[in-house]
Structure 1
Amino acid sequence: MTWLLVIAGAAIGAPARYLTDRLVQARHDTVFPWGTFTVNIVGSFTLGFLTGAVTAAAVGPNVQLLIGTGFCGALTTYSTLSYETLRLTQTGARFHAIANLAATIIAGIGAFYTSTALTQAIWH
């Protein structure tokens, strides 16, 4: 049962990642990887909200497996972040490479923190 929940979440998260990345990137005429940035921040926010909900006992471990491990695991992508940052560096866009790393880390942690604070306001 556990692995089915992870698979079900991933089956939604992986296409959501691809489609979101393509949709967002198509709207920006820049070398900055806005699509990957977007899915990573949305994933961080979602995982933070879920973590807060689990901590508050508002949802159980099965939801955590489905959404946290499955969906967020397939939605977010550290490997693509690494690849795109390296590609930016290799093409001479060093500012964009540094901005990509810094913005992703800062915004990701900020999104996670904000969403866990939101869950505390809702369930505590």
Structure 2
Amino acid sequence: MIVLVLALAGGLGAAARFLVDSAIERRSRLSVPVGTLVVNVTACLAIGLLTGWLGAAADAGPLATVLGVGFFGGYSTFSTASVEAARLLLDGRGRAAGAHAAGMLLVCLAAGWLGLTLAT
């Protein structure tokens, strides 16, 4: 049963990612893909909060798995961020690709840390 709930949560997370990313990209005037950045940063913040809140609870296993692995696993997207950086490189925009990749890593780490800090 947990596998089905996990799959459903992952699908819902992927749908949420699509909606958030699409809404941001429609409004963005920047020439770099900010929608994926926003999605990944909010996912890292949420996973940090979830880990802090549920990590100490002995009976939070299935809930933590469904939300963390399922929903936020489907919501976040490292592969899209990698493809976007590669596309920037192919377009001859090496600086933008490096800034996108390094910025994504640093901001996502900071968001995860912030989530853990706020939850504890």
TM-score by length of 1: 0.90
d(CA) in 2 for partners of 1:59 and 1:50? 14
Gaps of 5+ in 2: none
Give the aligned partner of residue 104 of structure 2: 104
1:96-123: CA deviations, max 9, x gaps? Answer: 1111111111110100000101110xxx
CA offset at residue 58 of structure 1? Answer: 8.1
The alignment partner of 1:66 has SS state of helix
Ranges of 4+ aligned residues in structure 1 off by more than 2 Å:
none
Q: Is contact 1:17-1:76 (8 Å) kept?
A: yes
Alignment of 1:67 with 2:67, yes or no, is yes
Q: Give the fraction of aligned pairs with identical amino acids, expressed as a percent.
A: 32
d(CA) in 2 for partners of 1:15 and 1:115? 23
d(CA) in 1 for partners of 2:51 and 2:21? 24
d(CA) in 2 for partners of 1:31 and 1:59? 45
5 Å matches for 1:8-23?
Answer: 8-23=8-23
Gaps of 5+ in 1: none
d(CA) in 1 for partners of 2:108 and 2:59? 23
How many aligned positions are there?
120
The alignment partner of 1:32 has SS state of coil
5 Å matches for 1:84-123?
Answer: 84-120=84-120
